[in-house]
Amino acid sequence: MKNLKIFAIVTLSVFVGFFSAISIAENSLLKTKSQPVSNKKYSADFLNEIVNKVKNEYVEEKTDSQLIEAAASGILSSLDPHSSFLNEEDLKEMNVHTKGEFGGIGIEISSEMSVTKVVSAIEDTPAFKAGINSGDYIIRVDDVSTQGLRIDEVVKKIRGKPNTSVKLTIYRKGETAPIEKTILRKIIKINPVKSNLFKDVAYIKINSFSEKTTDAVIKEFANIQKKLDKTVSLRGLVLDLRNNPGGLLDQSAEVADLFLPKGAKIVSIKGRDKTKIIEFIDDKPETLLPNLPIAVLINEGSASASEIVAGALQDNKRAIIMGSKSFGKGSVQSLIPLQDNSSAIKITTSLYYTPSGRSIQASGIEPDIELEIATIEKQKQNLPKDSEADLKGHIEVEINQNINKTSKNQDKKLLDSNLEIYQKDYQLGRAIDLIRGVSLSKAIFSGS
């Protein structure tokens, strides 16, 4: 493993299909169309023959380098949507991407049936602000069809100079007509981690798993502790992995390590040889939130490395998973340098499995509590409310009146605060309430 850099990244290449029109009169090979398929085994010489034929007969002149690179791309992209050939330019782009800073609009894309599909629009990026959603299909870029284009070709069309615009034509399920979005390109600097404190509940949002993610989580949690009122005890954490398209596998393992006890299994990797299993085991005690409840938010934009974290915490019964089913990318790609390191192949070498042995490839992580996106509003009620206090001759107790008055004020403040969260982010509001509920029930049943 020392010589291979392992990725859990979704934005990779895709098989390209094509159609050709050939005159039947000019091509006698079509006469054998209905004959049984030959079992002939091809050799490397056969590939060389094809390259030479294209070089000599194709309508436009192609260099040896162009043809060889195209052949390499064709071989790898025919394997699966995540294997690809990377030339020198592609390698530079990948290095920039994994360091958490790159140009464009801030989306991760994949392929589904040769169509470009949005895995997620990363939070606070131009694509996110323009309303690009997970599950959208990009059918045109600047009025050029994406049908038949490799993922890297689509990426190059979307990216461009900062402060220039790109027009995306989107097909979205449930819409009767395509949607057009014109988005201004920016230098994308992904802040891998954000945090907040909702009175007694910590909130950490991980946007991607880049080289800086684990350190950023530790730093943000320290900031949360500084903000915490000395009279308030932290009840737990909401870990938000929604629209997190993945990133580096080792970072996802290190993040899971922060919340799991020593000796816990995080993820296992199995390649072609099923007897050889690589396991990631937590090698140190839980450092951030020992004994406090955790809720993890996921959605269809949570992929790859974020699914590793969610699966690890779910199988180790360390967190309650909430939201909607994740993307379902359970394959691992290895980056293998070629020749003078000016090019490389990214190839699927294994599948990863959650601690209980589940492969989430194409099936995703199922939440423990399914939550749809919704809104909640406070309704005004003008009807009179009857209570004991309305009855003639009721007994009045001074101390209870004071307690009730204080309690009502506190309840109103908490309700107003929760309502604001629910209006902005219903799923987050539910997760915060869950943490408070779990914490309260533990306190009640433990007698503390």
| Residues acting as catalytic residues | 304, 315, 329
State both tokens at 352: 């990863």
CA distance 416 to 100: 37
CA distance 276 to 336: 19
Would you say the C-alpha torsion 159, 112, 77, 341 has a positive or negative sign? Answer: positive
Q: What H or E segment, with its residue span, contains residue 414? A: helix 398-424
Contact 152, 336 (CB under 8 A): no
State both tokens at 280: 């990631």
Q: What is the DSSP letter of 38?
A: P
The burial of 186, by beta-carbon neighbours within 10 Å (0-12 exposed, 13-18 middle, 19 or more buried), is given as middle
Where residue 254 falls (left for φ over 0; alpha for ψ -120 to 50; beta otherwise) is alpha
Q: What H or E segment, with its residue span, contains residue 92? A: helix 88-98
CA distance 50 to 73: 15
State both tokens at 278: 């690589």
